[in-house]
Structure 1
Amino acid sequence: MSTATAPLQPTRAREASPRPGRFSTLRALLRQRLRRDRWQLVIWLLSIGALAAFSAASIQQTYASAAARLQLMRLAIADPTILVLRGLPQGSTLAALTFFEIFTFLALLAGLMNTFLAVRHSRAEEESGRAELVAATPAARLLPTVATVGHAVVANILLAVVTGLGFMAVGLPVAGSLLAGAVTAGAGLAFFGVGLLLAQVMSTSRGANGSAAAVVVAAYLVRGIGDATGTPIGDGTHLRPAWPSWLSPIGWGQQAAPYTADNGWPLLLQIGLAAVLVAGVFALQAVRDSGAGLIAERPGRAAASPALSGMLGLAWRLQRPVVIGWAIGGALGGLLAGALGSAINSSLADNPSLAGIREALRRIGAGGAGPLIELFISAIFSIVGVLAAACAVQAVIRLRQEEQSGTAETLLAGPVSRIRWLFSFVTVGVSAVLLVLIAAAIASGLSAMAAGEDPSVIGTSIAAAAAQLPVALVYLGVLTLLFVVLPSWTVPVGWAALGLGAFVGIFGGLIQLPEWLRHVSPFADVPVVVGNVDWTGGYWMFGITIAALAGAAVLIRRRDFAIG
């Protein structure tokens, strides 16, 4: 009898205490995520914290006098362009001006950081097959998601601390700085929930990342429209936003009003949205098959089309949905430029603050002296240029994804050279950039003409789009060279360089950053196409692009492929 029951005792002991095993598994999964993302998180956090500190310091130096701050805030309220790009005016104190200038961009970066984190540890893991292997262990299916949520919470707590310290480092009030950091991280957590939910919906990491990034950008623009159509209140330095701002977690963060009202309740809205979305993720994960998305991929054709017989056709097919998405974004930006440009041109023609508005638009769009509508279109096309550059960055990131998954090595085992493989994706990247800019130019010209502007505005839109071409191409060329030299750095450096470059180059003129710092960013050297045309910066960027691509072509033949 004893011999029959003895073998059962260890099993019963294990069954009697399952919880410690689950907790230790959860800790192991959390440590794995933190270790895997340690360098990417460091880059994101230091970049955002440094951006907060440096911007605050620059604003303090530039707008030290109360009169200068008052003039700037009244100019911002008079110019919807600045409100779309910057934020919600909430007073003319130094701290309030700092929050107005930088918060929305910090929240945008926090959103992108969190959506990429969510997809990387969910849909991308299922796509690679690693999630199924982990699910076969005691971790099962839910613990990895719990660990990913914990990972995001830790990352955003660090983000709140780093951002708050960045503001405090230049002497801003402690309480307001901590609240500003908290609502920045709160926006990040809300977008983490969006990314994690879309990872359940989409069947590929590429689709999930693209959709989540589109939601973040849409939240930024919706908030901008709400701010631009708001109502001035009080002394002319405060604005009550219109209802679209309440559709965005970034808009909620603005309502916290650090340094003035110090409201904590908008943070609860951000955390509440994140909690609801994460709860929805767990509900969906319990009913769907591992590796499958709620939106299934369409079944492929029985036979490949003739276009897939070559490397270029394959590169286009792999990136087609993403390119179309960025092109739609460019068209929407063009519609905004043309329609709002016409409205502003009509409403501000006799405004006494026109000179200040012209100067602000010139600093944003690198324009010279010219008609107000041309300056406005040039300014908005700076944002379209960011979309085109993002499309170029994603084309290079696709190279890295193909290398990581091992499919590139499989292709190169056949009659495909490394240079041909590399430049097929580069060619698609160039085509994608052109498609985004052309879509924006056509939409801008047609929307302005529909609003009653002269047909010559089409030429203005085409020139503004052409000015953004060298910027997008220099990102494509330099990041391609980085991919060849340091492949593991491609994704974090690509997105961080784009985000920081856009802020420093486009908005640095408004807060009067040092010229040497501004010109580190390609966006600061966009060719001038309004007034005295100057393509000097564009020629330099074309040269850098050609040199970088030539270097990539030479070096790609000499390095091993990094799989995994």
Structure 2
Amino acid sequence: MMDTLLRLVLHRLRRDRLQIPIWILSIAGFVFLAAVGLQNTFGSLAERTVLVRLATANPAIMLLRGPPQGTDLDALLIFTVFGFLGVLAGLMNTFLAVRHLRAEEESGRASLISATPAARVFPPLSTLVYGFGVDVVLALAVAGCFLAAGQDLSGSIVAGLALGAVGIVFLGVGAVASELMASSRAANGVGVGAVLLAYLLRGLGDAFGTVSADGLSAESAWPSWLSPIGWAQQTHPFTENTLAPLILSVIVAAALMGVAGLVLVRRDSGASVLASGAGREAADPRLSGAFGLAWRLQWPSILAWSLGGALFGVFGGSLGTAIGSSDLGNGPIADELSGLTGGTGSLTEAFVSVVFTIVGVIAAGSAIQSVVRLRQEEALGTGHLLLATPLSRLGWLVSYLAVGVMAVVLVLASGAAAAVVSSAAVGAPELADDAVLAAVAQVPAALLFLGAVATVWALLPHLTAGLGWGALILAVFLGIFGQLIGLPDWTADLSPFTHSPQPAGADTDWTGGIVMAGIALAAGVAASVFFRRRDIAGG
């Protein structure tokens, strides 16, 4: 029995011999670079004091990064990067669970293994054991990087354990999503949505938290306690070093894995709790075209991305006026806040711009998923069937690019509409113009990702998903954290989000957006040319 379990764990390790080490090394390397960069950039107590008071004065900064816990360098490091690390750990684990659970059933490999003495329960059990081992390695790697950067031993261990706990919870989320959904694509969508929701709840709790009288620390409000990332932050590494909040992580992870196990033993192989519909007797006429089929395959995921954009839009619209009506006045803090908009615009516009940068990231994710879906159709062979009809290669590609454009527009429009409605509900209808401008400003960056990933698909189809999602994560890292941790200015310029126009009313400079839109169009044209010159690439 144990020999069989060990063989299956080693099989999963072999299959992930590239992507899991890349995930872990990227997260751990990020910790080390952040620690070294912060020490070089904010080495003095006076500089750290200004930064922390700026953060506690601006809910948008705490939404993105978390609640500060003092001016010590190690506490500032946790405040700066831990929320982002939690998102990365969550995504790594949900993708891992879905890849080895639902995707295995979808491909038929799980049925082959179930026909051996391994039986049906050992493959999912080995996935959970393997995932737990991955999170242990992640915790050790992160703690080791904190130590290598000169941080305290106990705080480093607590930070590593907290991040590992986040991963284990989302391993359970991925397991439950694999039982609920009939396809790996849908299960991954549920997993990503859960990670984004956890990040949003944590952000809401931190933004509405209570700031200390000296402005050097903040305690999160209750929404943060609804998020696994929030529980990890409540350990307060390097300051309080309390592991008690991780009890919630252990309980929830065990409950999620228990639910997944109970469902597994009670359903048929290949089935799911939420089964796919039987479909109509006659196909909808719109499915006779390439665009109609592409839209039909992707509209549920586009709806999920749009709901994510709307959630952040509600936050931006309901809280934006708090910045403009605050008593920050003129001075260094006000100057720093205005700097968020490149030196132009009001504090309210700065806040709205920060929130819609997140919505822009979500829109870019929906665009990337459209191209990844195109690659999946090619790899599974269904693309071959379409191209055997009078449908041209160009028509097939353009249909998915068109759906990607629609996804970008719908996500940003949902965010803008939610911001307009919520701002009106709190008696600040004047915020509507800022929200619409901020949403439009994010369109070129999202379209740039669509065109760039389409070009990758046309040139290196097997690397579409890896390079696409990796590029988005790198762009977020460079655009949001690069300068803060001391990276050269030119690294921030590598992120398209850095060049998005900053809303400033009639004074908004659209130059960066126009350039990115032109590059996106050129990339789309290049993708169509390269695709016509290569063979169809199978799985």
TM-score range, shorter chain: over 0.9
| Distance change (3 Å), C-alpha of 1:244 and 1:61 | same
SS at 2:502 equivalent: coil
Q: CA deviation at 1:563?
A: 2.7
Superposed, 1:242-253 pairs within 5 Å as 242-253=221-232
Instruction: Pick from 230, 247, 256 the counterpart of residue 277 of structure 1.
Output: 256
Partner of 1:359 in structure 2?
Answer: 336
* 8 Å Cα contact 2:205/2:223 also seen in 1: yes
Aligned-residue CA RMSD (Å): 1.9
Partner of 1:555 in structure 2?
Answer: 530
Instruction: Pick from 496, 508, 511 the counterpart of residue 533 of structure 1.
Output: 508
CA distance in 1 between counterparts of 2:108 and 2:471 reads 30
Alpha-carbon deviations, 1:257-293, whole Å to 9, x = none? 1111222233343233222211221111000111111
Instruction: Pick from 380, 403, 410 the counterpart of residue 385 of structure 2.
Output: 410
SS at 1:533 equivalent: coil
Between 552-561 and 89-98, report the one with greater CA deviation: 552-561
State whether structure 2 residue 352 is matched by structure 1 residue 382. Answer: no
Structure 2 counterpart of 1:275, one-letter code:
A
State whether structure 2 residue 481 is matched by structure 1 residue 486. Answer: no
Partner of 1:82 in structure 2?
Answer: 61
Between 510-519 and 203-212, report the one with greater CA deviation: 510-519
Instruction: Pick from 435, 439, 444 the counterpart of residue 470 of structure 1.
Output: 444
CA distance in 2 between counterparts of 1:47 and 1:493 reads 14
Q: CA deviation at 1:361?
A: 5.8
Structure 1 counterpart of 2:125, one-letter code:
V
CA distance in 1 between counterparts of 2:331 and 2:250 reads 41
Structure 2 counterpart of 1:264, one-letter code:
L
State whether structure 2 residue 17 is matched by structure 1 residue 38. Answer: yes
Between 353-362 and 147-156, report the one with greater CA deviation: 353-362
* 8 Å Cα contact 2:38/2:484 also seen in 1: no
Partner of 1:226 in structure 2?
Answer: 205
* 8 Å Cα contact 1:368/1:530 also seen in 2: no
Partner of 2:403 in structure 1?
Answer: 428
Superposed, 1:299-378 pairs within 5 Å as 299-346=278-325, 348=326, 350-352=327-329, 355-357=332-334, 359-360=336-337, 362-363=339-340, 366-378=341-353
Alpha-carbon deviations, 1:290-330, whole Å to 9, x = none? 11111122221111111101001000000000111111211
| Distance change (3 Å), C-alpha of 1:398 and 1:156 | same
* 8 Å Cα contact 2:349/2:503 also seen in 1: no
CA distance in 1 between counterparts of 2:330 and 2:468 reads 39
SS at 1:265 equivalent: coil
| Distance change (3 Å), C-alpha of 1:421 and 1:277 | same
CA distance in 2 between counterparts of 1:517 and 1:54 reads 13
Instruction: Pick from 421, 434, 439 the counterpart of residue 460 of structure 1.
Output: 434
Instruction: Pick from 494, 497, 505 the counterpart of residue 479 of structure 2.
Output: 505
CA distance in 1 between counterparts of 2:302 and 2:247 reads 36
SS at 1:74 equivalent: helix
Q: CA deviation at 1:130?
A: 1.9
Q: CA deviation at 1:218?
A: 0.7
Alpha-carbon deviations, 1:492-533, whole Å to 9, x = none? 222222122113213434555421111121111112332643
Partner of 1:10 in structure 2?
Answer: none
Q: CA deviation at 1:414?
A: 2.1
Structure 2 counterpart of 1:286, one-letter code:
V
CA distance in 2 between counterparts of 1:557 and 1:453 reads 52
State whether structure 2 residue 492 is matched by structure 1 residue 518. Answer: yes
Partner of 1:11 in structure 2?
Answer: none
Instruction: Pick from 240, 246, 269 the counterpart of residue 290 of structure 1.
Output: 269
* 8 Å Cα contact 1:367/1:530 also seen in 2: no
Unaligned runs of 5+ in 1: 1-18
CA distance in 1 between counterparts of 2:56 and 2:86 reads 21
Unaligned runs of 5+ in 2: none
TM-score of the aligned structures, taking structure 1 as reference length:
0.91
Between 220-229 and 550-559, report the one with greater CA deviation: 550-559
Structure 2 counterpart of 1:27, one-letter code:
L
| Distance change (3 Å), C-alpha of 1:311 and 1:164 | same
Partner of 2:122 in structure 1?
Answer: 143
CA distance in 2 between counterparts of 1:361 and 1:423 reads 41
| Distance change (3 Å), C-alpha of 1:155 and 1:62 | same
Instruction: Pick from 499, 521, 531 the counterpart of residue 546 of structure 1.
Output: 521
* 8 Å Cα contact 2:66/2:203 also seen in 1: yes
State whether structure 2 residue 37 is matched by structure 1 residue 58. Answer: yes
Partner of 2:159 in structure 1?
Answer: 180
Partner of 1:168 in structure 2?
Answer: 147
Q: CA deviation at 1:387?
A: 0.7
CA distance in 2 between counterparts of 1:309 and 1:170 reads 59
Q: CA deviation at 1:110?
A: 0.7
Q: CA deviation at 1:177?
A: 2.0
CA distance in 2 between counterparts of 1:317 and 1:132 reads 29
CA distance in 1 between counterparts of 2:495 and 2:284 reads 42
CA distance in 1 between counterparts of 2:213 and 2:350 reads 30
* 8 Å Cα contact 1:47/1:496 also seen in 2: no
Q: CA deviation at 1:182?
A: 2.1
CA distance in 2 between counterparts of 1:115 and 1:354 reads 45
Superposed, 1:181-200 pairs within 5 Å as 181-200=160-179
CA distance in 2 between counterparts of 1:298 and 1:176 reads 50
Instruction: Pick from 137, 155, 167 the counterpart of residue 134 of structure 2.
Output: 155
Between 507-516 and 413-422, report the one with greater CA deviation: 507-516
CA distance in 2 between counterparts of 1:361 and 1:247 reads 32
* 8 Å Cα contact 2:338/2:346 also seen in 1: no
Q: CA deviation at 1:338?
A: 1.1
| Distance change (3 Å), C-alpha of 1:359 and 1:512 | farther
Alpha-carbon deviations, 1:378-427, whole Å to 9, x = none? 11111110110111111111112212222112222222222222221111
* 8 Å Cα contact 1:33/1:151 also seen in 2: yes
CA distance in 2 between counterparts of 1:309 and 1:549 reads 24
Q: CA deviation at 1:358?
A: 5.2
Q: CA deviation at 1:153?
A: 1.7
What's the % identity of the aligned pairs? 48
SS at 2:245 equivalent: helix
CA distance in 1 between counterparts of 2:218 and 2:193 reads 27
CA distance in 2 between counterparts of 1:527 and 1:491 reads 28
CA distance in 2 between counterparts of 1:361 and 1:51 reads 28
Partner of 2:80 in structure 1?
Answer: 101
Alpha-carbon deviations, 1:238-272, whole Å to 9, x = none? 22222211111111111211111222233343233
Alpha-carbon deviations, 1:48-105, whole Å to 9, x = none? 1222122222211121111221222222222211111111221110000000110010
* 8 Å Cα contact 2:102/2:184 also seen in 1: yes
| Larger Cα-atom Rg | 1
CA distance in 2 between counterparts of 1:258 and 1:234 reads 22
State whether structure 2 residue 235 is matched by structure 1 residue 260. Answer: no
Q: CA deviation at 1:352?
A: 4.2
TM-score of the aligned structures, taking structure 2 as reference length:
0.95
Alpha-carbon deviations, 1:6-54, whole Å to 9, x = none? xxxxxxxxxxxxx3xxx33323322221222222213222221222122
| Distance change (3 Å), C-alpha of 1:354 and 1:435 | farther
Aligned residues between the structures: 538
Instruction: Pick from 124, 129, 134 the counterpart of residue 103 of structure 2.
Output: 124
